[in-house]
Amino acid sequence: MMKALKNFFCLFILTIGLISFVSCSKDKDDDNGNGGGNNGTELPVGWTEDGNRLIYKAIQGAGVYELVYVWTMTFESDLCVSARLEITFPDAAMAQAVYNELEPEVKELSSISGKVITMNFDEEYRGLSKQEIKDAITAGGGWI
């Protein structure tokens, strides 16, 4: 859990630093700006429960500097079996720059598609209950 927190913190600091170096022009990509793989549906900020899935969406910044974080956890018998984080950047160049700087062990768990980096956290969250995950993310301001 601490390794994941360290990786998140490093990614967060790197992202903030890169925002100041990347062009301010908007991409013309049409991904609905919804944080990646949500099939074109806009998620509300905060918690959403959808059957056996628990979703948490947070937005950092605004406009050109907006980052969208979407946590999706899948459950069986109230225990987490799958967890991923999608971070949508303002443009593909910024996402690629952040991805290129990820530590090797974080990059192993990550993939990039356009302006979205997806990180797999199955091992960190497997076996936790919905309430344990909600408490941890709420206490961490969006980060476990």
Within a domain: 7: yes
Neighbours of 131 (CB within 10 A): 10
Within a domain: 21: no
DSSP bridge pairs for 51: none
Integer angstrom CA distances of residue 29 from 8, 25, 98, 107, 115? 26, 12, 19, 24, 9
Q: Which domain holds residue 105?
A: 1-14+52-134
The region that residue 108 occupies, defined by phi over 0 for left and psi between -120 and 50 for alpha, beta otherwise, is alpha
Distance between CA 144 and CA 134 in Å, rounded? 9
Total of domains in the chain: 1
Within a domain: 30: no
Within a domain: 23: no
What is this structure's pTM?
0.69
Within a domain: 29: no
Per-residue confidence in pLDDT tens, the chain, 144 aa: 455 545 554 555 545 444 443 444 433 344 444 444 444 446 678 899 988 999 999 888 877 788 999 999 999 988 999 999 999 999 999 999 999 999 999 999 999 999 999 999 899 899 999 999 888 877 876 555
Distance between CA 119 and CA 50 in Å, rounded? 20
Within a domain: 47: no
Is-contact 127 79, C-beta < 8 A?
yes
